[in-house]
Amino acid sequence: MKITSAEFVMSNSNVAKCPNEPLPEYAFIGRSNVGKSSLINMLMERKHLAKTSGRPGKTQLINHFKINKNWFLVDLPGYGYARVSKKDKKVFQKYITEYFVKRKQLVCAFVLVDIRHEPQPIDVEFMEWLGTNGIPFAIIFTKADKLKPGAIVNHVNTYLRILLEGAWAEAPPHFVTSSSKHMGRDALLSYIGEINNGFYTN
């Protein structure tokens, strides 16, 4: 897929006020500081489409970007550690849940995890929640440039094995990426393109 346009549409915390267009949506979410904004900018080949920050937890709203005028990329707040008050954290965790439960345009969620770390309970629990609620998702392993090829394979296999030891009959689709090396970009955009083709032909 070639990215011909990527435009910011809106930020808000009210799912009912999200764009009402019948376009497929792809939500990007992960623990704070997983490299989400950098990944989005790499995919779209834009330096500042999504705001990056050295301060974890900067994204605190539902951010909609219209891509190629025929699908939405949605940048969601990170879960887990964030330098916000407990009250604020509860508020935006609530509308994240509402987004996934109520947003009918959502066709796939991308759960980002840092490939350097062991599987974290908060990530596994979130994936189990998506599965229980029937929400299609794929895993995006980020920061693969920080590991050697053999270690990448081992970390991915460990992660998938732990998922399969749980409630999963089969592992979800997964992608290995590096924002700095543009790794995984073509595969990820091709996957989105395939889903879009199915969306528009049905």
Report if residue 156 sits inside a domain: no
Side-chain half-sphere CA neighbours of 119 within 13 A: 20
The pLDDT, as a whole number, for residue 57 is 44
- Tell me the C-alpha distance between 152 and 116, whole Å: 8
Report if residue 154 sits inside a domain: no
The pLDDT, as a whole number, for residue 58 is 45
DSSP 8-state assignment for residue 111: E
Report if residue 44 sits inside a domain: yes
Report if residue 163 sits inside a domain: no
Report if residue 88 sits inside a domain: yes
- For position 133, which CATH number holds? 3.40.50.300
DSSP 8-state assignment for residue 50: S
Report if residue 35 sits inside a domain: yes
Report if residue 125 sits inside a domain: yes
Q: Which amino acid is at 133?
A: N
Query: Whole-model pTM?
Result: 0.89
Structure confidence by residue, pLDDT tens digits, 29-82: 998 889 999 999 999 998 878 764 444 444 578 899 999 999 999 999 877 644
Q: Residue 67 sits in which domain range?
A: 6-147+169-201
- The stretches in the chain having pLDDT less than 70 are 51-59, 80-93, 167, 202
Report if residue 127 sits inside a domain: yes
The pLDDT, as a whole number, for residue 54 is 43
- Tell me the C-alpha distance between 175 and 182, whole Å: 12
What is the count of structural domains for the chain?
1
Three-state SS at 133: coil
The pLDDT, as a whole number, for residue 30 is 92
- Tell me the C-alpha distance between 113 and 58, whole Å: 17
The helix (H) or strand (E) run that includes residue 65 is strand 62-67
Q: Which amino acid is at 37?
A: S
The pLDDT, as a whole number, for residue 79 is 73
